[in-house]
């Protein structure tokens, strides 16, 4: 519950400085502020609205501060307007006092802006001092005293009839439904319940969307199956790989061994090639020795006429030998050392001319025969040799002196050459034999090279197969890790989905509860307000069964839209009576009944400020209305504005005497019929309002009007406000 304690105005419109303390005594809860037209009652209500709601509270404002600027200041004069509202909040057995202060400094009348105001809400601390609160606290205050309900809390006669649809002449059902609906939804918390229900529903839908999004990305089951498949493939590959590795290792070893053999063979072939070179050297040496031999034979021939014969004997070709030996044999002239050569040649199967001579062949037989014949003549040959030697010694064969020594030397050299030539020929024969054998190895090496090539290709095939398997394994391992990661994430998503599903269920439950509360409040409390209205209407208007209206109330209109509408109704003789046909007095009574019923049913705990509400009533109705407001048990804190006429009846004054805890009278120039400054020395300007504490039953020097002194209903009160 909120109670206003005091309103202080400084430089506010026609108020230079004013202070109003409001009644808070439960026995005398009513505050009465009396004032004639143009005395400042509405301005005072405007001060309430401004301090509470700022520019939102001033209906006629267009951000121009003209409505607030003091009327006595000059157009270009800077002035600070300030309104301070002291109030207290009682909740849960605790009472906390607050000060709400709003100020606006306007530089000039033309450019002053309401939006330049400053507002501070301060809370009273334990020590008594007031401590400023955050700006958000002002917003919180507005959730209790709602800006949109200002016409409800600060109601005047003109605004009140808007709840019924306006004046009789300009009735509008649309206006009525708008005003009623706004009040009902705000004060019955229907707006709040509805928006809370919708917000919970929105949140629930968000949970559902989040679940769907997570499920879209889950694929948990598919990933599991894919992982099983991949692991199966991996197992298969792991079994294949050792076999492939063994095949490759064997092929590699086989290839390596073959390669080694081939290398050995290549080395051997290289050696053979080297030996072939040696054979050529042997041949060259032998050729050189043969050349020397021939030279020696020629030299020897120079010492003997038989040199030609000797040369023939020494001819390197077998044919030549045979051709030469034949006649020599016939003559018996064959040197014995030449005869020694032939058996060796035959034995080796070759001859110097290259003709093959094998044992038992006709050529060999022929040579053997020649040899045997030669041996027969060996003695003759020796003889011949002796003759030659003798003839040489005695220079019997020519002019050239025959000396024994050179011939001997030549013969000796020839004798030395022959074995050497023989050895070289043997070596050449050996080399040629080896070369023939190595010729076979060349073919074998080529064959081996082909074989090695095939083995290398086979080894590479096995190696490629192994690498392919290893690559495949690596790929599958990567795939497996990917599936495992996906499954892990899916598991995480699954947990999130569970949480979201639980949240969705919670939202469903809360939504159903809030929605049910909304429906119950709407159906039951609207009906309760309706009943209260009928009671209040009857009480205030004093309606009887014979009256023109037998029943009034509030009801929900058809479910034409999502947002239900509410309307007032009046019935006469069991039938609806159109509101536009209801006359002014009943119209005002109906609107007041609605406001008060709603305040009563919703337990509104904020002050209710009525401005000239009694204007529209008269007689018993007015008395009952004042009686209802004054007792203050059904509404928080009644603050009633009115004219002298409003409070003139003795019945009303009696109620006010009993329940008014605070009274004020506003006096302006038009009321005193002269300059207000003369009546109130505290005033400096004639267009300023003067305030005294006179009750509706009193007058003083400030508020006194002509005739007051002669009225028995009024009593004089000395100055001293």
Taking the least distance from each CB to other proteins, the nearer of 176 and 193 is: 193
Kindly state the number of chain residues that form the binding site for other proteins, as judged by CB under 8 A. 43
Taking the least distance from each CB to other proteins, the nearer of 143 and 706 is: 143
Stretch that binds other proteins, among 254-262, 268-276, 518-526, 535-543 (CB under 8 A): 518-526
Taking the least distance from each CB to other proteins, the nearer of 501 and 670 is: 501
In the region spanning residues 207 to 236, those forming contacts with other proteins, defined by CB under 8 A, are 207
Is residue 89 at the binding interface for other proteins, with CB under 8 A as the rule? no
Taking the least distance from each CB to other proteins, the nearer of 10 and 189 is: 189
Comparing CA positions, the residue from 689, 688, 711 lying closest to residue 698 is 711
Cα 487-490-493 angle, rounded to 5 deg: 160
Shortest spacing between CB 119 and other proteins, in angstroms: 15
Q: Who's near 435: CB < 8 A, 6+ residues apart? A: 272, 275, 276, 279
The per-residue DSSP string of 412-445 comes to HHHHHHHHHHHHHHHHHHHHHHHHHHHHHHHHHH
Binding-site member from 512, 711, 715, 716 for other proteins (CB under 8 A): 512
CA atoms within 13 A of residue 274's CA, in its CB half-sphere: 6
Shortest spacing between CB 607 and other proteins, in angstroms: 16
Shortest spacing between CB 609 and other proteins, in angstroms: 20
211-214 contacts: CB < 8 A, separation 24 or more?
211/497, 211/500, 211/501, 211/504, 214/493, 214/496, 214/497, 214/500
Shortest spacing between CB 136 and other proteins, in angstroms: 4
Question: Which tokens go with 237?
Answer: 């590959």
Chain length of the chain: 721
Taking the least distance from each CB to other proteins, the nearer of 120 and 677 is: 120
Shortest spacing between CB 210 and other proteins, in angstroms: 10
**Torsion angle in degrees (nearest 10) through CA of 419, 420, 423, 429:** -120
Instruction: Spell out where 305-382 has E strands.
Output: none
Taking the least distance from each CB to other proteins, the nearer of 196 and 435 is: 196
**Residue 277, Cβ neighbours under 10 Å: how many?**
10
Is residue 113 at the binding interface for other proteins, with CB under 8 A as the rule? no
Is residue 417 at the binding interface for other proteins, with CB under 8 A as the rule? no
- Taken in order 59, 63, 68, 72, is the CA torsion positive or negative? negative
Shortest spacing between CB 525 and other proteins, in angstroms: 6
Is residue 261 at the binding interface for other proteins, with CB under 8 A as the rule? no
In the region spanning residues 338 to 357, those forming contacts with other proteins, defined by CB under 8 A, are none
Shortest spacing between CB 207 and other proteins, in angstroms: 8
Is residue 291 at the binding interface for other proteins, with CB under 8 A as the rule? no
Shortest spacing between CB 163 and other proteins, in angstroms: 19
Stretch that binds other proteins, among 229-237, 279-287, 448-456, 517-525 (CB under 8 A): 517-525
Binding-site member from 234, 521, 527, 677 for other proteins (CB under 8 A): 521
Shortest spacing between CB 120 and other proteins, in angstroms: 16
Taking the least distance from each CB to other proteins, the nearer of 207 and 664 is: 207
Instruction: Spell out where 66-165 has E strands.
Output: 79-91, 94-106, 118-124, 130-132, 154-156
Stretch that binds other proteins, among 48-56, 61-69, 501-509, 620-628 (CB under 8 A): 501-509
Tell me whether strands 575-576 and 607-611 are parallel, antiparallel or unpaired.
unpaired
d(CA 646, CA 644): 5
Taking the least distance from each CB to other proteins, the nearer of 345 and 606 is: 606
b/e sequence 396-410, b meaning 16+ C-beta within 10 Å: ebeeeebeeeebeeb
Is residue 509 at the binding interface for other proteins, with CB under 8 A as the rule? yes
Taking the least distance from each CB to other proteins, the nearer of 234 and 506 is: 506
d(CA 374, CA 331): 10
In the region spanning residues 471 to 500, those forming contacts with other proteins, defined by CB under 8 A, are 498-500
In the region spanning residues 168 to 197, those forming contacts with other proteins, defined by CB under 8 A, are 187-189, 192-193, 195-196
Alpha helix segments (H runs only) across 54-161: 135-144, 150-153, 157-160
Q: Which SS3 state, helix, strand or coil, does residue 577 take?
A: coil
Question: Which tokens go with 561?
Answer: 């839209």
Binding-site member from 7, 30, 68, 200 for other proteins (CB under 8 A): 200
**Residue 269, Cβ neighbours under 10 Å: how many?**
15
Taking the least distance from each CB to other proteins, the nearer of 104 and 188 is: 188
Taking the least distance from each CB to other proteins, the nearer of 194 and 459 is: 194
Binding-site member from 314, 345, 448, 507 for other proteins (CB under 8 A): 507
Is residue 605 at the binding interface for other proteins, with CB under 8 A as the rule? yes
Q: Which SS3 state, helix, strand or coil, does residue 378 take?
A: helix
Is residue 517 at the binding interface for other proteins, with CB under 8 A as the rule? yes
Comparing CA positions, the residue from 541, 697, 532, 531 lying closest to residue 625 is 541
In the region spanning residues 585 to 604, those forming contacts with other proteins, defined by CB under 8 A, are 602-603
**Residue 564, Cβ neighbours under 10 Å: how many?**
17
511-520 contacts: CB < 8 A, separation 24 or more?
511/197, 511/200, 511/201, 511/204, 514/193, 514/196, 514/197, 514/200, 515/197, 517/193, 518/190, 518/193, 518/194, 518/197
Is residue 516 at the binding interface for other proteins, with CB under 8 A as the rule? yes
Binding-site member from 63, 77, 139, 444 for other proteins (CB under 8 A): 139
Exposed (0-12), middle (13-18) or buried (19+): which is 321, by Cβ within 10 Å?
A: buried
Taking the least distance from each CB to other proteins, the nearer of 199 and 347 is: 199
What residues pair up with 18 in beta bridges, in sequence order? 9
Taking the least distance from each CB to other proteins, the nearer of 181 and 306 is: 181
d(CA 423, CA 621): 169
User: In this structure, what DSSP letter does residue 525 have?
Assistant: I
Site string for other proteins, 141-170 (x = CB under 8 A): -xx---------------------------
Taking the least distance from each CB to other proteins, the nearer of 202 and 287 is: 202
Is residue 287 at the binding interface for other proteins, with CB under 8 A as the rule? no
d(CA 33, CA 40): 10
Is residue 525 at the binding interface for other proteins, with CB under 8 A as the rule? yes
Stretch that binds other proteins, among 204-212, 280-288, 307-315, 627-635 (CB under 8 A): 204-212
Taking the least distance from each CB to other proteins, the nearer of 79 and 100 is: 100
Taking the least distance from each CB to other proteins, the nearer of 550 and 604 is: 604
Interface contacts to other proteins, rule CB under 8 A: 136-137, 139-140, 142-143, 187-189, 192-193, 195-196, 199-200, 202-204, 206-207, 498-507, 509-510, 512-514, 516-517, 520-521, 525, 602-603, 605
């Amino acid at each position: 519950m909120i109670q206003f304690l005091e309103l202080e105005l400084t430089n506010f419109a026609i108020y230079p400085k004013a202070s109003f303390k409001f009644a808070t005594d439960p026995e005398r809860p009513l505050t009465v502020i009396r004032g004639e037209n143009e005395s400042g009652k509405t301005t005072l209500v405007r001060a309430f609205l401004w301090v509470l709601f700022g520019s939102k509270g001033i209906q006629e404002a267009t951000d121009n501060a003209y409505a607030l600027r003091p009327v006595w200041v000059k157009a270009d004069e800077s002035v600070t307007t300030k309104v301070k509202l002291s109030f207290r909040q009682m909740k849960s057995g605790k009472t906390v006092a607050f000060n709400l202060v709003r100020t606006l400094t306007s530089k000039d009348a033309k450019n002053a802006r309401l939006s330049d105001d400053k507002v501070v809400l301060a809370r009273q601390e334990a020590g008594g001092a007031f401590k400023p609160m955050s700006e958000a606290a002002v917003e919180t205050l507005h959730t209790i005293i709602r800006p949109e309900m200002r016409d409800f809390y600060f109601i005047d006669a003109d605004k009140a009839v808007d709840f019924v649809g306006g004046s009789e002449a300009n009735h509008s059902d649309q206006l009525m439904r708008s005003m009623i609906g706004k009040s009902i939804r705000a004060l019955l918390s229907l707006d709040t319940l509805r928006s809370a229900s919708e917000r919970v529903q929105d949140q629930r839908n968000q949970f559902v969307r989040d679940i769907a999004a997570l499920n879209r990305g889950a694929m948990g089951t598919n990933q599991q199956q894919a992982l099983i498949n991949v692991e199966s493939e991996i197992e298969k590959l792991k079994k294949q790989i050792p076999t492939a590795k063994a095949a490759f290792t064997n092929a590699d070893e086989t290839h390596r061994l073959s390669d080694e053999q081939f290398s050995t063979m290549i080395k051997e072939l290289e050696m053979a090639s080297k030996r072939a070179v040696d054979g050529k050297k042997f041949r060259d040496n032998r050729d050189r020795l043969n050349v020397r031999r021939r030279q020696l034979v020629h030299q020897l021939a120079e010492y003997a006429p038989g040199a030609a014969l000797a040369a023939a004997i020494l001819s390197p070709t077998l044919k030549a030998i045979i051709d030469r030996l034949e006649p020599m044999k016939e003559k018996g002239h064959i040197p014995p050392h030449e005869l020694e050569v032939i058996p060796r040649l035959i034995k080796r199967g070759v001859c110097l001319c290259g003709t093959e001579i094998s044992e038992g062949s006709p050529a060999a037989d022929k040579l053997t025969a020649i040899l045997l014949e030669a041996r027969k003549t060996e003695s003759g040959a020796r003889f011949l040799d002796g003759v030659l030697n003798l003839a040489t010694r005695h220079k019997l064969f020519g002019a050239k002196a025959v000396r024994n020594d050179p011939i001997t030397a030549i013969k000796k050299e020839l004798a030395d050459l022959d074995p050497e030539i023989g050895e070289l020929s043997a070596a050449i024969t050996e080399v040629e034999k080896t070369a023939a054998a190595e010729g076979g190895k060349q073919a074998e090496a080529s064959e081996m090279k082909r074989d090695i090539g095939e083995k290398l290709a086979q080894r590479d095939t096995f190696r490629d197969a192994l690498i392919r398997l290893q690559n495949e394994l690596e790929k599958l391992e990567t795939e497996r890790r990917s599936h495992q990661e996906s499954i892990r994430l899916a598991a995480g998503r699954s947990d999130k989905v569970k949480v979201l599903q639980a949240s969705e269920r919670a939202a469903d439950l809360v939504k159903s509860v809030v929605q049910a509360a909304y429906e119950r409040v709407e159906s039951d409390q609207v009906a309760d307000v309706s009943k209260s209205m009928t009671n209040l209407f009857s009480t205030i208007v004093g309606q009887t069964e014979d009256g023109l209206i037998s029943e009034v109330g509030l009801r929900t209109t058809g479910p034409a839209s999502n947002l239900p509408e509410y309307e007032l109704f009046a019935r006469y003789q069991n039938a609806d009576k159109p509101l536009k046909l209801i006359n002014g007095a009943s119209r005002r009574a109906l609107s007041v009944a609605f406001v008060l019923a709603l305040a009563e049913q919703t337990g509104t705990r904020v002050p209710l400020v009525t401005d000239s509400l009694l204007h529209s009533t008269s007689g018993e109705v007015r008395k009952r209305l004042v009686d209802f407001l004054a007792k203050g048990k059904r509404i928080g804190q009644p603050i009633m504005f009115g004219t002298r006429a409003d409070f003139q009846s003795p019945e009303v004054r009696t109620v006010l005497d009993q329940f008014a805890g605070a009274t004020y009278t506003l006096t302006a120039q038009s009321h005193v019929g002269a300059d207000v400054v003369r009546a109130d020395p505290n005033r400096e300007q004639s267009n300023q309002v003067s305030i005294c504490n006179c009750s509706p039953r009193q007058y003083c020097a400030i508020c006194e009007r002509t005739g007051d002194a002669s009225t028995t209903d009024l009593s004089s009160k000395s100055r001293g406000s």
